[in-house]
Amino acid sequence: MANAYDAAYRKSLEDPEGFWGEIAKDVHWYKPWDKVLDDSAKPFYRWFVGGEVNTCYNAVDRHVAGGRGGQAAIIYDSPVTGVVRTITYAELLDQVSRFAGALAVRGVAKGDRVIVYMPMIPEAAVAMLACARLGAIHSVVFGGFAASELATRINDAQPKVIVSASCGIETNRVIPYKPLLDQAIDLSSHKPSACIVLQRPQAAAEMIAGRDFDWQEAAAAAQPHDCVPVAATDPLYILYTSGTTGQPKGVVRDNGGHMVALKWSMKAVYDIDPGDVFWAASDVGWVVGHSYIVYAPLLNGNTTIMYEGKPVGTPDAGAFWRVISQHKVAALFTAPTAFRAIKREDPEGKLIKDYDLTGFRTLFLAGERSDPDTIKWAQTNLKVPVIDHWWQTETGWAIAANCMGLTEFPVKPGSPTKAVPGWGLEVLDEVHEPCPAGKVGSLVVRLPLPPGTLTTLWNADQRCFDSYYAEFPGCYKTADAGYIDEDGYVYVMARTDDIINVAGHRLSTGAMEEVLASHPDVAECAVIGVADQLKGQLPLGFICLKAGVTKPDQQVVDECVRLVREKIGPVAAFKTCTVVKRLPKTRSGKILRGTMQKIADNQDYKMPATIDDPAILGEIEESLESVGYAKARTEPAE
């Protein structure tokens, strides 16, 4: 007899309208849809055409009306300010409806854009929900993003209002936002009619009379605003992909399909019931923050954690365990990078023993490939299922996962398990033919994509087509490479541009990283392909050592080189590896392999706007020089 996952997966592909139409009954509709799936403008499919909804009503009002008003909706936990604050669903309804009123007074209406440029504080979620309440389209830009990058987003989205805060806080450093916002508006050809700024006690923002308004004063003076029904196909938000330079790439998400898919995923993928406490340790500026800090948990009637801190350093590598214990978190969703940082500081997991984690059920990892060593470390020390899953900004939710609410499968370290229902995932070779089980190729998804995915790019349908649909007709190009084994387990090895060609052999840098990460002294690693006149490309490894390692660096390097040769073979030509103190990353924790590759290849590169700490690139240049690679020429971020 088929298990729940197999039955759901089969129906989702054979009868997507029946599958999603039934699930859609679980959300509130002002007007039911006329058609579940509209395929009249392929590849731009539309879900729940003719339906009218409001995302804010489903995320907030519905729960208050249903008796959850006294339940915690948001727990704000900020070790950097020493503040812990709980907001109930009833309180959230009051704050959101009043802030929606404040936006409406300043001319924001259905279809208008609002940029939200804020740190990890509850007001960021309030601003997003207030936009959804009005039918306005929010575009959240990561707080502290460079003024030039913010300016390109202002010009592209053309917001009527910008919502910001006076500052953000990075561990023990205050970052004033208002000067960056003012500079961005000066650089922009489009000018917002108003800015609403939350004054935080750590730094006061200078206000411009007539344009800038104080959040507290604006909200206090506003009348609560009701939800505005919108078409299911109307945009809910624009999210610009991280690292974009020049013309930004704004992923558009709709209201109806987004609600249906995200609410369903909370039980099907994460096995989270209404009332459970769910924590996605990310930022509202990234897709994880949109999907699993704000929308999915609130749509599902959960308590969501908004954490303004780091996995280590606020104050130590026990920070995550303290939050889980204190707030009775049922499931944590974070990036493997966070766990590698914790593992590096506390290799034996001793700090875990200081906290009561009896209510903690599951750990979910995504954002970067989860190496088996990190998964094993978490399994051993936390003694809960550790579930790797794979998705992208464009997809909005998981493409492949161990669907804990349907059927839990045995974990295979290195695999995010199987394609989630709704995702017709395939592996194609260079001539677009299906690859046999176990062979690496391009991971693609047969159209239509399920609800909740990108509908297009903002004001750029052709660019959307060229980026995602042109190369593999009838499919969505993930731009990830990998394979599916004989059991249907998916393995995401690398971005397709991280598959390197060594003397005609196509090799995955992800597979090499997996081997390096298995070394007992390695906390974190990265492998890039560098240009070589003889072989085309050669792999180059970077390793960060765990705290307390006393071996000489060269001994660890020699062991790592031997390990790759043993596990992958001489064909990998892996001969060069260097020890570094840390790896350059984006603020969301992704390693900047492309930038490292340009440095190694002595190519010009631009300082990535999303980089967590620009000083790290200087350290990488020095390490590369020590192993015979020249410095590249760098340009400052624009």
Answer yes or no: same fold for 4-309+389-482 and 503-635: no
544-559 per-position pLDDT tens digit: 999 999 999 999 999 9
Query: Is 638 a residue whose pLDDT tops 50?
Result: no
CB 19, CB 25: distance < 8 Å: no
- pLDDT-derived band at 635 (thresholds 50, 70, 90) equals very low
pLDDT averaged over the chain?
Answer: 92
Question: Is it true that the peptide bond before 421 is cis, omega within 30 degrees of 0?
Answer: no
The pLDDT tens digits of the residues spanning 562-616 come to: 998 888 777 778 989 999 999 998 776 778 888 888 888 888 877 777 777 788 8
466: pLDDT strictly greater than 90: yes
Fold classification of 4-309+389-482 (topology level): Rossmann fold (3.40.50)
CA–CA gap between residue 500 and residue 512 (Å, rounded): 11
461 versus 538: which is more confidently predicted? 461
237 pLDDT above the threshold of 60: yes
Examine the pLDDT at 245 and tell me if it is beyond 70: no
Task: Pick 503-635's CATH classification: 3.30.450.80, 3.30.300.30, 3.10.20.600, 3.40.50.620.
Answer: 3.30.300.30
Residues 54, 227 contacting (CB under 8 angstroms): yes
Instruction: Report pLDDT for 503.
Output: 61
Sign of CA dihedral 612, 613, 616, 617: positive
Closest to 184 in 3D by CA, of 142, 127, 137, 236: 142
Rounded to the nearest angstrom, the gap between the alpha carbon of residue 28 and the centroid of all alpha carbons in its chain is 27
Q: State the pLDDT confidence band at 252, using cuts at 50, 70 and 90.
A: very high
Among 5-19, 164-178, 584-598, the minimum mean pLDDT is found in: 584-598
User: What average pLDDT does this structure show over 442-460?
Assistant: 97
Q: Residue 622: how many CB atoms within 10 A of its CB?
A: 12
Per cent of the chain over pLDDT 90 is 75
425 DSSP β-pair partners: 445
pLDDT at 604: 81
> How many Cα neighbours within 13 Å face the side chain of 313?
11
Answer yes or no: is pLDDT of 256 > 60.
Answer: yes
Q: How many CB atoms lie within 10 A of CB 58?
A: 24
Would you state the pLDDT for residue 280? 98
Q: Could you report the per-residue pLDDT of 280-307, keeping only the tens digit for each?
A: 999 998 899 999 999 999 999 999 999 9
For the ranges 92-106, 253-267, 548-562, 600-614, the lowest mean pLDDT is seen at 600-614
pLDDT at 331 over 50: yes
Name the residue ranges covered by the structural domains of the chain.
4-309+389-482, 503-635
> Is the CB of residue 153 less than 8 Å from the CB of residue 159?
no
The answer to whether the beta carbons of residues 546 and 522 sit under 8 Å apart is yes
> For the segment 478-529, what is each residue's pLDDT rounded down to a tens digit?
999 999 999 999 999 866 666 676 765 657 788 788 889 999 999 999 999 8
pLDDT digits (tens, 9 = 90+) for 35-90: 999 999 999 999 999 999 999 999 999 999 999 999 999 999 999 999 999 999 99
Confidence of residue 145 (pLDDT cuts 50, 70, 90): confident
